[in-house]
């Protein structure tokens, strides 16, 4: 009985959800400080591994450069090992993970094994056309191969629509899905996200 109660009160675990370029990484930088959460961005972890030319990085690069998702098996294993590196965490901010139903199911199972769960999934909503422009803009300076041409960016949206969008129903089915408008200044969007997180 006690264990079940603890499961709901001890930690807050948030999934930051949204299309490519919706501002997940941008907002995560503010939210992790404000709520004292360990920020895990699968995109950042992959890019770190690519930069350091690790085996994982070499593999991830072949998918990311084309705008494809990295295979579930690899991504899930990596995420779990990052969670395990933070036993003192007060909660996690998952950014860019999960991106498939298989990843979401694996995450639920994994957290369950630690007597934890996802508290809520918060989605940043925005139109594709605005986001494609944001990514092309970032591509001018970011050096990210997946931001540099429209065809790769469009492929990321196809991947999102096929594999990631179904997660909205997955989390709605668990009554854990909350959406906020992702258009506006960075500070405005942070305000909207905070208003939702404060209610959790």
CB 100 within 8 A of CB 21: no
Q: Is 190 in the site for ligand B4P (CB under 6 A)?
A: no
CB neighbourhood size of 97 (10 A): 24
Give yes or no for residue 22 binding ligand B4P (CB under 6 A): yes
Burial degree of 105 (CB within 10 A; 0-12, 13-18, 19+)? middle
Site string for ligand B4P, 44-73 (x = CB under 6 A): --x----------------xx--xxxx---
* From 7, 61, 66, 138, the catalytic residue: 138
Q: Is the dihedral of CA 123, 76, 38, 116 positive or negative?
A: positive
Judged by beta carbon, residue 7 or residue 168, the one nearer ligand B4P is 168
Is 173 annotated for ligand binding? no
Q: State the distance between the two ends of the chain, measured CA to CA, in whole angstroms.
A: 22
Which residue's CB atom is positioned nearest to ligand B4P? Answer: 43
Is 24 considered catalytic here? yes
**Positive or negative, the Cα torsion across 157, 161, 164, 165?**
positive
Residue 42 interacting with ligand B4P (CB under 6 A): yes
- Is 144 noted as a catalytic residue in this protein? yes
Give 86-114 as a 3 state SS string.
CCCCCCEEEECCCCCHHHHHHHHHHHHHC
Instruction: Check 99, 152, 163, 178 and give the catalytic one.
Output: 99
Catalytic residue check, 192: no
In angstroms, the Cα distances linking 127 to 19, 21, 56 are 9, 10, 32
Nearer Cβ to ligand B4P, position 99 or 178? 99
Reply yes or no on whether 156 is catalytic. Answer: yes
CB 8 to ligand B4P: min, Å: 26
Binding to ligand B4P by CB under 6 A, coded x per residue (else -) over 158-177, reads --------------------
Catalytic residue check, 61: no
What is the binding site for ligand B4P (CB under 6 A)?
Answer: 18, 20-26, 42-43, 46, 63-64, 67-70, 75, 96-97, 99, 103, 134, 138, 146, 156, 184-186, 189
């Amino acid at each position: 009985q006690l264990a079940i109660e603890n499961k709901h009160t001890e930690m807050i675990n948030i999934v930051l959800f949204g299309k490519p370029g919706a501002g997940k990484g941008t907002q995560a930088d503010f939210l992790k400080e404000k709520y004292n959460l360990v920020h895990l961005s699968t995109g950042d972890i992959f890019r770190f591994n690519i930069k350091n030319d690790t085996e994982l990085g070499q593999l991830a690069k072949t998918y990311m450069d084309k705008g494809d998702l990295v295979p579930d098996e690899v991504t899930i294993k990596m995420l779990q090992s990052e969670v395990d590196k933070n036993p003192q965490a007060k909660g996690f901010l998952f950014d860019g993970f999960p991106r498939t139903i298989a990843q979401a199911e694996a995450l639920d199972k994994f957290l369950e094994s630690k007597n934890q769960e996802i508290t809520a999934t918060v989605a940043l909503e925005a139109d594709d056309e605005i986001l494609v422009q944001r990514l092309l803009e970032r591509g001018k300076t970011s050096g990210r191969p997946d931001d540099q041409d429209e065809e790769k960016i469009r492929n990321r949206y196809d991947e999102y629509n096929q594999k990631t969008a179904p997660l909205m129903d997955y989390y709605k089915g668990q009554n854990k899905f909350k959406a906020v408008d992702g258009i506006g200044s960075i500070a405005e969007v942070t305000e909207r996200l905070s208003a939702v997180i404060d209610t959790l």
